[in-house]
């Protein structure tokens, strides 16, 4: 696999670019306390709505908070929420998909009905409905995104599990009386993992956009927390006087999502070339 990875990286400029963007942002996320030039929450009222300068690299918002520092901390929050929500959805969705595909029959029917139902909502609307139930809060946004994305994992993993179920080694294990749980864990799961990883990378960018959208709508709870969507929302009322607030925050999101999209394509080519047409 690592040979194929180096080959993809050597051959594809897009793959290198995607990996580069994600690594740089990851470093920013990990070092944000040292990278930020100001405290992201400190309000300096006399410096409100200042244009970008040597003191405030990307200007200040309406409370005189440093936009650069808020975006640097925002990177950490976006990455945390993006990874967590997609991670949880991949675990839930993979479990649903394996059980559904392996058992088939009425178990499959029920699981797939639930999946169909969840997919009958435009994703952002379902996420909003879940936030409406649980209350506006970043933690609830993670839960909402995780639940909204898990049906996609369930669908893809189910289709892989359906074919794995018919493989000789699974039939042999069943014939020799191995318990279902153990077959799913030891034989089915390892065979669906690569598909799950491909889908996971491809969904992180979407999750980050979704989180930003929900925060932008004011569903993220505490407005002092520097999320990218929140910063765009902060700048919304001041587009005319201070376009840099929303402007830079949106660029941060766009670049991040481009990075994950390119990386997702590359990982798909490395792990699962057959997949390229299905997704």
Partner 1 sequence: MLQYIARRLIQTIPTVLLVTTFVFLIIHLVPGDPVEMILGDYATPDSIVAMRGALGLDRPLGTQYVSFLTGLIHGDLGTSIRTQRPVMAEIRQRFPYSMMLAFGAVAVSTVLGVPVGVLSATRPGSWQDTISMVGALIGVSMPTFWLGLMLLFLFAMKLSWFPVIGAGDIGNIPDTLQHLVLPVLAIGLSGMALTARMTRSTMLEVLGQDYIRTARSKGLAKTIVIYKHALRNAAIPVVTVVGMNIGHLLGGAVLAETVFARPGLGKMVVDAILARDYPMVQGAVFIIAMVFILVNLLVDVTYAALDPRIHYN
Residues found near partner 1 in the complex (CB under 8 A): 113-114, 116-117, 120-125, 128-129, 131-136, 205, 209, 212-213, 216-219, 229, 232, 236, 239-240, 243, 246-247, 249-250, 253-254, 257-258, 261-262, 277
Q: How far is CA 215 from CA 57, 129, 225, in A?
A: 24, 14, 10
212 versus 271: smaller Cβ distance to partner 1:
212
Contacts with 70 (C-beta within 8 Å, 6 or more apart), sequence order: 40, 61, 226, 231
CB 69 within 8 A of CB 36: yes
The answer to whether residues 86 and 94 touch, using CB atoms and an 8 Å cutoff, is no
Residue 176 Cβ, how far from partner 1 at the closest point, in Å?
A: 35
Sign of the four-CA dihedral 236, 54, 79, 207? positive
Smallest gap, in angstroms, from Cβ of residue 200 to partner 1? 18
Minimum distance from CB of 264 to partner 1 (Å)?
11
| Degrees, nearest 5: CA angle 267-1-270 | 25
Kindly tell me which of 97 and 205 has the beta carbon lying closer to partner 1.
Answer: 205
Nearer to partner 1, 101 or 235 (CB): 235
Nearer to partner 1, 184 or 207 (CB): 207
Which C-beta is closer to partner 1: that of 23 or that of 125?
125
Token duo for residue 257:
């999502």
Tokens representing 279 are 């997704």
Find the shortest distance in angstroms from Cβ 170 to partner 1.
26
CA separation for the pair 53, 162 (Å, rounded): 59
CB of 209 to partner 1, least distance (A): 5
Whole-angstrom distance, CA of residue 77 vs CA of residue 29: 8
Q: Which is nearer to partner 1, 91 or 119 (CB)?
A: 119
Minimal distance, residue 135 CB to partner 1, in Å: 8
């Amino acid at each position: 696999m690592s040979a194929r990875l180096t080959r993809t990286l050597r051959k594809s400029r897009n793959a290198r670019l995607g990996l580069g963007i994600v690594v740089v942002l990851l470093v920013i996320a990990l070092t944000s306390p040292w990278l930020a030039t100001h405290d992201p929450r400190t309000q300096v009222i006399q410096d409100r709505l200042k244009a970008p300068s040597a003191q405030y690299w990307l200007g200040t918002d309406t409370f005189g908070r440093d936009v650069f520092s808020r975006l640097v901390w925002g990177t950490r929050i976006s990455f945390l929420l993006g990874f967590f929500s997609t991670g949880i959805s991949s675990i839930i969705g993979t479990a649903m998909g394996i059980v559904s595909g392996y058992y088939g029959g009425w178990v499959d029917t029920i699981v797939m009905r639930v999946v169909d139902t969840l997919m009958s909502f435009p994703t952002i609307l379902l996420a909003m409905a879940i936030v409406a139930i649980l209350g506006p809060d970043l933690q609830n946004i993670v839960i909402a995104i995780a639940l909204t994305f898990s049906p996609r994992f369930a669908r893809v993993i189910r289709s892989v599990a359906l074919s794995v179920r018919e493989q000789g080694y699974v039939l042999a294990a069943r014939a020799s009386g191995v318990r279902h749980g153990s077959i799913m864990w030891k034989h089915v799961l390892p065979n669906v993992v690569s598909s799950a990883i491909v889908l996971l990378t491809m969904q992180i960018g979407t999750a980050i956009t979704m989180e930003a959208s929900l925060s932008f709508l004011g569903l993220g709870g505490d407005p002092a927390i520097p999320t990218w969507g929140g910063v765009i929302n902060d700048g919304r009322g001041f587009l005319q006087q201070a376009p840099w607030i929303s402007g830079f925050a949106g660029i941060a999101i766009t670049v991040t999502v481009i990075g994950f999209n390119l990386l997702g394509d590359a990982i798909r080519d490395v792990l699962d070339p057959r997949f390229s047409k299905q997704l």
